[in-house]
Every structure is written in structure tokens, then in C-alpha cells.
Amino acid sequence: MRTLFVMDPLDRINVRGDSTYAMMLEARRRGWPVSWCTPDQLRVHKQTPWAWASDVEVQDSEPHFTPKAHVLTPLTAFDVVWMRKDPPFDMDYVFSTYILDLATPTALVLNDPRSIKAANEKMYALQWPDLCPPTTVTNRVADVVAFAEAHGRIVIKPWDGNGGRGVLVTEHGDRNLRSMAELLTQEGRAYAIVQRYLPEVRDEGDKRIILIDGEARGWFLRKPGGDDHRGNMHVGATVHACDLTDRDREICAALGPRLKNEGLVFVGIDVIGGFLTEINVTSPTGFHEIRRLQGLDLARELTDAVERLRSETTR
């Protein structure tokens, strides 16, 4: 199956930890032609979506990528199109999903671009309020201060952030509380996500669970490093093996059917202390960590799911 990956530039890919690279390798192992482009190489001409796509050879040794020249190609020439651009989820990202949507249903576009638009990674979890920690979403400094008064220690996040960027921890009585709230809300011009701080993140860690077509298939813990409060690997968090708890399974069972129904085939959820904190649908990662800790090849499992879904769309 001819597959296009819409992604970050190849020279930015960390082959030792990037799940997109693992997905590309698995596609080539099956003999699928693989191409790539960046989101700014997408076009619409005469009501047809196109990409300046480059065929690329992918291997697990140097050189990892051997790309050919970019050629203007209709997206409908591909059997599968993966949107794997890392956030931020800004208007350029949103606009690229509009173009990708025009390729359906001729091409199988994953994750479904319509669902990506609807599933903001900070806000989507609030569709399941019973699974989330106490949360408020606001652009008012006074609301942040009141939330801290009610809950003590809190976390403030930009609604459109990623990778732990801009995530602040403060508490009621902190002399910097108001200035932090002003910073994250841009003094009333931007919304912020405010949640009760979950102390389990320090002792137990932030659990990443990968769901493939609605089923939990792999998981691991990320523990903040040093004095940092963030469980993101690129800021020094360490990765550890773990088990799923009954609560974790309850969360996955609640989310799975809807994720599957909405075409969110590859999803990473974050759970802290039994609470769902984020649902990552744009470009989740974790395949390398799961293979090392659990011995599972999720790139193969995901590609099996893609084959099945593609066969269902062509019946």
C-alpha cells in the first residue's frame, strides 16, 4: 500500500526514539512504497488535494533516510496518508487538516483529520469529566486565584502547548500566583487549563498508555527528573516499566469505543494518580520505550490495524 507521511523534516527525526520512523520502517518491511512531505507542501488545485511528496527509502542503519526529489502528487494516489506533524496545534496545523480531509474517503487518512480538529489534546479529556482531576478553563486571573484557594496546589497549562512547555506549578499563598496566571492567560487574552496538582506524579509518575484502534496495547511510566515537575522525556523524565491498574483499564474502556468510532487509530493518553490528564491524538509517541520495556512491536500492530481498516474502506 502506497503510504504518505506528513511529518516534520527528516533531518529533525531522532531515529532512536521517534515512532514515525518506526512506522515508516515497518511499512518498508512489508514492501509498501513510502513517501513523505511537510505540511507546508500540501496544496489544493482544481478542488483536488496535492502534496509535493518525496519517495524515500528507510532503513534501520545509516543512512536511515534516502529521499528522492519531491514530485507534485495527488493525495488520492496514496492508499494511506498519516498526519504525523508534531504540535503546536496552531492554525497552520488546522489548515493542513482541511486539505487532508479532501483526500477522504479515497485515501485512508490517519488520524481522521476531522477528529483531530475536534480533539484538542488538553480539552478533549474533559468529554469524560468523571475521569479527570478538578479542572477549570479560563482567561481570567481571578478564576485561577479562586481555583488555587479551593484546591491548594495547582498546575497551569497553555491550552495549545505541547511537550510540557509552559506548564507551571503554583499554589494558594504563592506570591507569584497572580503573575503566573497573568503570564499564562496573557492578561486575559488567552485561555489556560488549570488543574488540581496530583502529587502522585512525583512518586508514581505520569503513565503513558498507547491505544491502537481503541484498545490499550502498551504502556510505561515517565518520572520527572531532578527538581522538574514535568513527566516529559525531552525535559529529563526517566522511563520505567509498569502495569495497568483497574482504574487504568476503566479509563481505556471508557475512551476506546469513541476513539475507534472517530477514526483516532493511534492515540496516547496520560494518566496520573488514576486521573486522565491528556489525550494525545496529533503525533503520539512511545513505540521505542514500549519495545524496550515490554518487548512489544507496536509499529507492527499499528500497521496490521491499518491494513485491516484499509481493506474495510475498499470493500
- The set of catalytic residues is 122, 157, 208, 222, 230, 270, 278, 280
Beta carbons of 287 and 301 less than 8 angstroms apart: no
Amino acid at site 7? M
d(CA 311, CA 28): 19
* Selection from 133, 264, 131, 282 nearest residue 201 by Cα: 133
The strand pairing partners of 65, in sequence order, are 58
Residue 41: left if φ>0, alpha if ψ -120 to 50, beta else—which one?
alpha
Beta carbons of 212 and 301 less than 8 angstroms apart: yes
Residues 6 or more apart whose Cβ sits within 8 Å of residue 59: 25, 28, 66
CA distances from 59 to 12, 22, 24, 56, 238 (A): 16, 10, 9, 10, 27
Beta carbons of 164 and 235 less than 8 angstroms apart: yes
